């Protein structure tokens, strides 16, 4: 029996399903938060051309992940990577 068939046979057990669900959810959430952090205005990937990215934020721009009962004119958007 090959290794892939052993893995498939072992992964069909019902007690492994919660492990796959929890692990998949955790990896998905970590990916989302990593993407979200890369899109934030404090992060720069090009320090040479944009050494101070936070200075591009205008007053009234929403840069928070969650803004409760706050008025913002517009949402901040990264124009360059």
Q: Is the pLDDT of residue 66 over 90?
A: no
pLDDT digits (tens, 9 = 90+) for 11-22: 788 888 899 899
3-state secondary structure of 74: strand
pLDDT of amino acid 78: 66
Higher pLDDT, 60 or 5: 5
Residue 75: exposure state from Cβ atoms within 10 A (0-12, 13-18, ≥19): exposed
Spell out the domain ranges in the chain: 3-75
Pairing of strands 74-75, 61-62: parallel
pLDDT of amino acid 51: 74
Note the pTM of the prediction, 2 decimals: 0.53
pLDDT digits (tens, 9 = 90+) for 24-65: 999 999 999 988 887 776 777 777 877 777 777 777 776 766
Other beta carbons within 10 Å of 44: 16
User: Among candidates 38, 28, 47, which has minimal Cα distance to 78?
Assistant: 38
For 45, the token pair is 């990937």
């Amino acid at each position: 029996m090959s290794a892939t068939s052993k893995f498939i046979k072992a992964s069909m057990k019902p007690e492994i399903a919660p492990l796959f669900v929890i692990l998949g959810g955790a990896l998905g959430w970590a990916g989302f938060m990593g993407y979200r952090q890369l899109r934030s205005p404090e992060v720069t990937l090009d320090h040479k051309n944009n050494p101070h990215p936070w200075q591009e934020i205008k007053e009234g721009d929403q840069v928070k992940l969650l803004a409760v009962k706050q008025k913002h004119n517009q949402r901040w958007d990264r124009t360059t990577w």
